[in-house]
Structure 1
Amino acid sequence: MNEKGADRVLALFADARLTPTQRRIAHTLIQHAGAAAWLSAAEVADLAGVSQPSVTRFAMALGHDGYPALRQLLREAATASPAENQDHKPDEVQHAVRRESANLGRLADDLTDPSRLTEAGALLAGSRPLPVLGLRAAAPLAAYFGFFAAKVLPDVRVLDSGGTLLTDRLEQARAAGATAMLAIVLPRYPREALDALGEARALGLRTVVITDSPVSPAAERAECVLTAPVGAGLVFDLHTAPMTLAMVLLQAICDAVPEETQRRLEEFESSAVRRQIFVP
């Protein structure tokens, strides 16, 4: 398949919200499009290492009645014969990375009006302690935010595990004086994260959510919603824009309490030098 043909195949899946298994199928079709466009659903399943029903569900997730309809589109996109070198792989990795650049551009455009960000920063800066919720895919991002937030706020509590202990920790934070919570809720949206947002509001906590879309199920459960698109070009999501938004939000928190921020940063630097934390 030539480069233009590969781009057309990529375009069939570029904006679809797919599960990791479905992305494996998409990548298999892209990488082997010269042959896959003429294979049955069972043969594609064998090539991708998934079940045949998974291939059918994949086609239906793209809006088709079944795999034959999708295969017809693949045939139209393929401009080379099936005998073409099947080891040729369109550069879907570069395509995915370039889409992340576009996602950052969309985020920058959304921040043209900083009012929501400023409101969220002030809301979270005033909460002592500050609970930060992030479950499943969002847990590393919550931990990353919490690591740096703890340098400027006295009590940051990262909530990265669910179950009944999650409710306990929310109640404990509220009893300790928390007035607001930051929740990072990313696809595939964990039910426990959505439930936790409801519990937080029932406890009287004001909620700020970082999520991927204004129509995310987390958006309707939050007082203040900040969005950043999630990259879906690889088997697993790319969280470049949400991570950037989280750090921009932390900047807004610092701007809301500048004197305290400066004092705590200076205290940390003095402590770091005394304990020789970092290599010169």
Structure 2
Amino acid sequence: MLVVQSMRAFAAEAKVKPATLLRLAQRLGYNGWGELKSAFIDDLGLRNDTYVSKAEKLIAKGTQPALYEEVFLAHQANLAFTQAENPHSMQQAVTLLDEAKQVYICGFRASFPIAWLLFYVYRLFNRHVSLIDGLASNIEVFTREITAENCLLLTSFAPYSRESLDVLNAARQAEARIIAITDSPVSPLAQAADCTLLFSLSSPSFFPSVVSGMGVAECLLAMLVARHGREAVSKIESAERYLQSSGAHGLLVYPMGGTIDGQLGDHILIAPPFIVSRSELDFVVDTLHKVISEETHKLARRQL
């Protein structure tokens, strides 16, 4: 294997001369074989640069404004790289998901936010979507159901979690289509995938950034809605109506002016989100004013 073998050993296994590997490295833009090998190790996330050592470097930098700028510049660079890498693959991913009878979404540890966003939003317009979250060690509950008619949408980055690789192997054995959202074209996910969406996770912080991974997810979801058309809009409308009627969105704050209970000034009204018109808002205000007035008078009479 490239990571552990010397250039001579790797050349012998590949049945070429060591000088051939040296020329290959130089042709790829590296000064030599060692530099190519080092870059490969970095791509696999195998460099012994721990979170602790990176955190210590942050402490050395301090909290100067330059670090603030550096973080957001890294986000911009990651998004620019991700945008440039995926236009064709994004179209391919939309087609694969569209053709699948059932979609399984999976991402563990730091990749879970990407997987959850995909699952939550995708379910708003496609009920044939399941999240493999590993809750109560439930992975096999889903993997035993995967068939060749299904699609696995899997996200992970180095170091790749054991759970992700287990799900990946199950999908391969079932001959399901696989879409990988990952950090490198040589990642184990990309090597097994029918379609790979790459994102960059460079960060001046001690932990990899998933901002561009979330960007991939948002773009994919937007393109799926565009592909599904009016059918998707109808399902989103139905889901939104249910969320509003069930009170799932909680209470909203409505800024108001005028006079309430004799007090002139700025006020706020906290009310359910199903209020969508001025007449409904006026009705709630009048009702509250009436109830407050009655309770105030009752309290005043009890104090006499």
Query: What is the identity, as a one-letter code, of the residue corresponding to 1:217?
Result: P
Residue correspondences, number: 206
In the alignment, the residues of structure 2 paired with residue 162 and residue 209 of structure 1 have an alpha-carbon distance, to the nearest angstrom, of 21
Q: How does 1:16-95 map to 2 (within 5 A)?
A: 18-31=49-62, 89=64, 91-95=66-70
Q: Please state whether the residue corresponding to 1:91 is helix, strand or coil.
A: helix
- Match for residue 129 of structure 2 among 156, 171, 192: 156
Distance 1:90 1:216 in 2: 35
- Look up the match of 1:121: 94
- Give structure 1 stretches of 5+ with no counterpart: 1-14, 32-87
1:139 corresponds to: 112
TM-score (norm 2): 0.61
The answer to whether the Cα contact below 8 Å between 2:146 and 2:171 also exists between their aligned partners in 1 is: no
Partner SS for 2:134:
coil
Shift of 1:141: 1.7
**1:105–1:231 Cα change, 3 Å:** same
User: What is the match of residue 99 of structure 1?
Assistant: 74
Deviation at 1:104, TM superposition (A): 1.1
Tell whether the 8 Å contact from 1:194 to 1:221 is kept in structure 2 after alignment: no
Runs of 4+ in structure 1 off by over 4 angstroms are none
Check 1:207–1:163 CA distance in 2 against 1; reply closer, same or farther (3 A cut). farther
Query: Is the partner of 2:110 in helix, strand or coil?
Result: helix
Which residue number corresponds to residue 171 of structure 1? 144
Please state how far the C-alpha of 1:255 moved relative to its aligned partner: 2.9
Q: Given the alignment of the two structures, is residue 241 of structure 1 paired with residue 209 of structure 2, yes or no?
A: no
CA offsets 1:47-78 (integer angstroms, 9 cap, x no match)? xxxxxxxxxxxxxxxxxxxxxxxxxxxxxxxx
SS of alignment partner, residue 236 of structure 1: coil
Shift of the 160–231 alpha-carbon distance from structure 1 to 2, 3 Å rule, reads: farther
Deviation per CA, 1:242-274: give whole Å up to 9, x if none: 000011111222233224312211222332343
Q: Which has the higher contact order (CA 8 A, sep 6+)?
A: 1
The AA in structure 2 aligned to 1:129 is Q
Deviation, structure 1 residue 164: 6.1
Cα drift, residue 145 of structure 1: 1.5
State the alpha-carbon separation in 2 of the partners of residues 225 and 232 from structure 1: 22
Structure 1: distance between partners of 2:185 and 2:176: 21
Return the index of the structure with the highest Cα Rg. Answer: 2
Q: Is the 8 A contact 2:146 2:174 kept in 1?
A: no
* 1:202 to 2:177 alignment: no
Structure 1 length normalisation: TM-score?
0.66
The structural deviation recorded for 1:23 is 0.8
- 1: CA distance between counterparts of 2:200 and 2:217? 12
2:227 pairs, out of 256, 268, 275, with 256
Sort the Cα spacing of 1:110 and 1:236 in 2 relative to 1 into closer, same or farther, 3 A: same
Residue 79 (structure 1) aligns with: none
Question: RMSD of the TM alignment (CA)?
Answer: 2.6
Question: Residues of 2 paired with 1:108 and 1:136: CA distance?
Answer: 24
What's the % identity of the aligned pairs?
Answer: 23
